[in-house]
Chain A
Amino acid sequence: MTDHNKKYERFNIARRLEHALLILSFSTLAVTGLVQKYALNSISIALISFMGGIETVRIIHRIAAITFFLEGVYHFILMAYLLYVKRKEATMIPGVKDGFDAFYELLHNLGLRKEAPKMPRYNYAEKMEYLAMIWGYFLMGLTGFMLWNPILTTRIFPGEFVPAAKVAHGLEAVLAVLAIILWHFYHVHIKHWNWSMFKGYLTRHEMVEEHGAELEKIEKGEPEPEIDPVVFKKRMKIFTPVSIVFSVIMVGLVVFLANYEETAITTVPRVYAEVDVFVPRTPTPFPTQIPTPTPDMMVANTWDGGIDFVFEQKCSLCHGESGGLSVKTYSGIIQGGNSGMAVIPGRPDESLIMQIQAPGNEHPGQFSDEELERVRIWIVNGARK
């Protein structure tokens, strides 16, 4: 008599915890990774802001990565224990039968074959997922740490490996996430909800459908071969130190890779910190004062030789050509103004200009002493043009 409601233990609590840790780290990696790969998508932007900005997202991604990595290290040690010490069957290694199982199931699904294949403890679907996981673990670990330590990477490999690692890391992530959704979600959540990773067992119905070969084995009741305690001790003597050394190396490696490199400076030096922003042009672009001609008495002692300039500077503001005295031209000054002759050649004392410009007179546009002296000499010398 077979109990239809009989439960078959599938995963013990440790394996279920492993799986929970994997769900946590993988989902975190997927979310924080994909928003980085598709960073400018509006959903990504919203998620990144929600998680506290891109720099925070990167830190979360790295924490999840370390969790994922260490979970893997634990898993490898566990596998070594089960396979080496306990000499369990390597139920995850695919064989020829799995190929046939897959093919027959496909035919069965299409209605081309009556019987569904009877599958072992881990069927082809699970083996495929497991191997993909192992492949992804190594590839993502390797490329991930390359991206984390680009300077270390380029000391060993050509520079191009870093962008190549980035492409591989991103696309492998896309593949992994889509495969999980399509394959894993379908097989354990959609086609029917599989509780074994939470409750730890499968029902008889599920066993029949998915692990027929294993069920037959269990029902045959073949006892597990006992391990001789002496042999067990011997194996443990090798396993214990090796696994300790391995885990120390792996933990050491992850600590090293997480801290090795300060890839970039953290504060940007201020732009133009050392260059003066305000550097006015010299000479100034404003109109400069017209330089006074050199007071060379012989050259300057004619109207055109500079006397005109003295008059233009000092007198022309008022004495233009609007009437009265004009200092604009030689003929104008010789002609004089309404008050009489401004300049009488050879006779400075009688020239009106010298009287008006006498020091202390405060006539607007007062000549300086030097200018007055030049004009006096000019008049003495005959006020030449």
Chain B
Amino acid sequence: MKRINLLNIGRILLLLTAIVLVFIILGMLNTPGKVVAQSEDDPQPQIDTTSNLYCLSCHAEAYNPVPLPSGESLFIQIDVTDFANSTHDRNDVTCVHCHQDISGFPHPIKTAQTLHEYQLQRDASCVECHEVQANQTKDSIHGQLLSQGDPNAPTCSNCHDPHAQPYMEELSKTEHSEVCANCHNGIYQEYANSVHGEAMIKDDNQDVPGCIDCHGVHTMADPRTAEFRNSSIYLCADCHTNAAIMDKYGLSTQVLDTYVADFHGTTVTLFEVSEPGQITNKAVCYDCHGIHNILSVNDPNKGLSIKQNMLVACQSCHPDATTNFPDTWLSHYIPDKDKYPIVYYVTLFYQILIPVVLGGMAIFVLSDAYRRLRMKFIKPKPVEVAVEGEEVIKHD
């Protein structure tokens, strides 16, 4: 019985080959008959080979990655649950919307040598719908690195898995930041131990900044530029002057004003306003507080409210600074009777001295002006003025 079956298969194969051969010859004689040949080749012509279902019939369980010439693996399995939850599937974006080169099986041969190259080719599809974001990215530090050919620079799909990307609003700050961590894990670990990162990761606090709150999403600028440094104070100030957020944690909202009033802040603000491309050596927020590793000012090891820690921070720019030096900075306080009393009383002294001196002067000046005007306009009693009187006598 099995033998007959086998024989049958052999016969069918032979017959099919013969038919194909005939058609190929016919096709060669006539105009290229691609369509005809294909439909005859395919035993199930009714199936739509561009439907998601067709693609997923293989890719839902295609666990074996495709090896690329570079030795990297191109993963081709689509997690159906993730895909169904993705913004693409929810907006009826089908596989072939993006994979436009594919219209069935077998697929065209891939030309990409590396995974990065493959992803770059795929980015062309993203631009068609996400032009604004794509252009923003081109101007960003990531885009700049990409155009320089940096193989580590991220393509669209490095950050946004097109088969699983949910709506941005549905992601928590931690999830956003995890995306960055894929490539910037060193910085992410620093951040995770910071006062911000700890609150975000451990307590799911949405008030603290995640990566994109400071760096932007597609517009992330090169943080090594003077422009970034000079304007960085506003990254911090945006939240730290917002009473609605700061009051929850008992933090001062005077930090920007007191900084700007001081030597460092005045200079940096001026640079920001008039020469943003010029780097200044005056401290910005992160020079003292740290960048990704910002700690609470009360942290026993690094907190700036402890004088020794502050001195270390000062010394990073003022290497000769000694123990008294940190007190030259008013630590974002507005001086009063208890906090920085010398500054307070000096200010008070001048607040009294200036009006008293100028007021006294004004009395003399106004009285003199009054006499002169009276002399000019009210002539009847010229004798009253000693000067005139004297002159009259001399003339006699």
B residues 234-261 near A (Cβ < 8 Å) are 260
Question: Does B386 interact with chain A (Cβ within 8 Å)?
Answer: yes
Expressed in whole angstroms, the Cα–Cα distance for A196 and B48 within the complex equals 105
On whether the beta carbons of A279 and B62 are closer than 8 Å, the reply is no
For residue B271, which residue of chain A has the nearest CB?
A: A54
Q: How far is the CA of A276 from the CA of B187 in the complex (A)?
A: 8
Name the A residues within 8 Å of B364 (CB-CB): 102, 105-106, 109, 125
Is B384's CB under 8 angstroms from A267's CB? no
Q: Is A45 a contact partner of B374 (Cβ separation < 8 A)? A: no
| A93-142 residues at the B interface, CB under 8 angstroms | 102, 105-106, 108-111, 114-116, 125
- Bitwise, B348-388 to A at CB < 8 A (1) or not (0) is 00110110011001111101111110100000000011110
Q: Contacts A40-B270, A53-B274; is A278 near B324 (CB within 8 Å)?
A: no
The answer to whether A267 and B281 have CB atoms under 8 Å apart is yes
Cβ contacts A349-374/B at 8 Å (1 or 0 each): 01010000000000000000000000
Whether A191 contacts B368 by the Cβ 8 Å rule is yes
Residue-wise, chain A 194-208 has the 8 Å CB interface mask toward B (1 for contact) of 000000000001001
Interface size on B, residues (CB 8 A): 91
B203 in the interface (beta carbon within 8 A) = no
Complex contact B182–A167 (CB within 8 A) = no
Q: Are A182 and B386 in contact (CB under 8 A)?
A: no
Complex: A54 Cα to B301 Cα, angstroms: 36
Within the complex, the shortest CB–CB distance from A179 to chain B, in Å, comes to 7
Q: Which of A276-330 contact B (CB under 8 A)?
A: 276-281, 285-287, 289-290, 312-313, 316-317, 320, 322
Contact B267 A54 (CB under 8 A): yes
Chain B CB within 8 A of A257 CB: no
Asked if A160 CB lies within 8 Å of chain B CBs, one says: yes
Query: Which listed residue (A106, A179, A270, A286) contacts B363, Cβ 8 A?
Result: A106
A119 to chain B, nearest CB (A): 12
Complex Cα distance, B358 from A175, in Å, reads: 8
Which residues of chain B have C-beta atoms less than 8 A from A275's C-beta? Answer: 186-187, 190
- Is the pair A154, B365 in contact by a Cβ cutoff of 8 Å? no
CA of A270 to CA of B361 in the docked complex: distance in angstroms?
54
- Contact pick for B322, options A154, A164, A272, CB 8 Å: A154
CB of A183 within 8 A of CB of B340, answer no
> In the bound complex, do residue A160 and residue B374 qualify as a contact, i.e. CB atoms below 8 Å apart?
no
B370 pairs with A278, CB closer than 8 A: no
CB <8 Å contact, B340 and A160: yes
Q: Is the CB of A280 within 8 A of B322?
A: no
Whether the pair A168, B77 counts as a contact (CB closer than 8 A) is no
How many residues of chain A get a CB closer than 8 Å to chain B's CBs? Answer: 84
In angstroms, Cα B126 to Cα A162, docked, is: 58
Per-position contact with A for B165-188: 1 when CB-CB < 8 Å, else 0?
A: 000000000000000011111110
Identify which of B185, B326, B372, B390 contacts A279 (C-beta below 8 A): B185
**Interchain CA distance A154-B318 in the complex, whole Å:** 12
Q: Which residue of A is nearest B287, CB measured?
A: A268
Contact A340 B224 (CB under 8 A): no
Task: Say yes or no: A271 contacts B322, CB within 8 Å.
Answer: no
The answer for the CA separation of A317 and B63 in the assembled complex, in Å, is 10
Taking the closest CB of chain A, its distance from the CB of B287, in whole angstroms, is 8
| Residue numbers in B under 8 Å from A331 (CB-CB) | none
> Is B269 positioned at the interface, with any CB of A under 8 Å from its CB?
yes
Say whether B46 faces chain A, with CB atoms less than 8 Å apart: no
Whether the Cβ atoms of B390 and A208 lie closer than 8 Å is yes
In the assembled complex, the CB of A253 is this many whole angstroms from the nearest CB of chain B, namely 20
Q: Which residue of A lies closest to B266 (CB)?
A: A39
Rounded to whole Å, the gap between the CB of A362 and the closest CB of chain B is 14
List the B side residues contacting A320 at CB < 8 Å. Answer: 57
Does any Cβ of B come within 8 Å of A178's Cβ?
yes
A268–B282 Cα gap in the complex (Å)?
9
* Chain B proximity mask over A159-176: 1 for CB below 8 Å, otherwise 0: 111111011100110110
In the assembled complex, which residues on chain B have CB atoms less than 8 Å from the CB atom of A265?
Answer: 281, 317-319
Most chain A CB inside 10 Å of its own CB: which residue of B260, B267, B324: B324
Query: Is the CB of B41 closer than 8 A to any CB of chain A?
Result: no
B residues within 8 A CB of A290?
63
Instruction: Considering the complex, give the chain A residue whose CB is closest to the CB of B279.
Output: A268
Does B58 lie at the interface of the complex (its beta carbon under 8 Å from any beta carbon of A)? yes
**Structural contact, B361 and A339, CB atoms closer than 8 A:** no
Contact for A154 among B63, B328, B361, CB less than 8 A: B328
Decide if B22 is an interface residue (CB 8 Å cutoff): no
Give the chain B neighbours of A168 by CB distance below 8 A: 346, 350
Alpha-carbon separation in the docked complex, A163 to B341 (Å):
11
Residue B275, interface by CB 8 Å: yes
Q: Can you name the residue of chain A whose Cβ is closest to the Cβ of B385?
A: A116
* B214 beta carbon closer than 8 Å to chain A: no
Given A106-B367, A171-B350, A278 and B343 contact (CB-CB distance below 8 Å): no
Contacts A102-B364, A278-B183, A280-B182 given; indicate if A39 touches B64 (C-beta within 8 A).
no
Interchain CA distance A181-B183 in the complex, whole Å: 63
Asked if B69 is at the interface of the complex by the 8 Å CB criterion, the answer is: no
The reply to whether the CB of A264 lies closer than 8 angstroms to some CB of chain B is: yes
Distance of A384 Cα from B370 Cα, bound (Å): 122
Cβ contact within 8 Å between A40 and B266: yes
Within 8 A of A (CB), among B284-319: 286-287, 291, 317-319
Query: Do residues A268 and B325 form an inter-chain contact, with CB atoms below 8 A?
Result: no
Q: Is the CB of B370 within 8 A of A109?
A: yes
CB closest residue in chain B, given A147: B263
Residues of chain A within 8 A of B271, CB atoms compared = 54
Identify which of residues 55-101 in chain B touch chain A, using a CB-to-CB cut-off of 8 Å: 57-58, 61-65, 73, 75, 77, 79
5 A-B residue pairings within 8 Å (CB atoms): A4-B394, A53-B275, A109-B371, A175-B358, A340-B1
**Closest 4 pairs between A and B when the two form their complex, measured CB to CB:** A159-B327, A109-B367, A171-B350, A279-B186
Known: A150-B328, A160-B328, A285-B182. 13 other contacts (CB 8 A): A53-B274, A116-B387, A125-B364, A161-B342, A178-B354, A182-B358, A186-B369, A265-B317, A271-B229, A279-B187, A281-B185, A316-B61, A341-B2
B residues with a Cβ closer than 8 A to A are 1-2, 5-6, 9, 57-58, 61-65, 73, 75, 77, 79, 152, 181-187, 190, 223-224, 229, 260, 262-263, 266-267, 269-271, 273-275, 278-282, 286-287, 291, 317-322, 324-330, 335, 340, 342-343, 346-347, 350-351, 353-354, 357-358, 361-365, 367-372, 374, 384-387, 390-391, 394
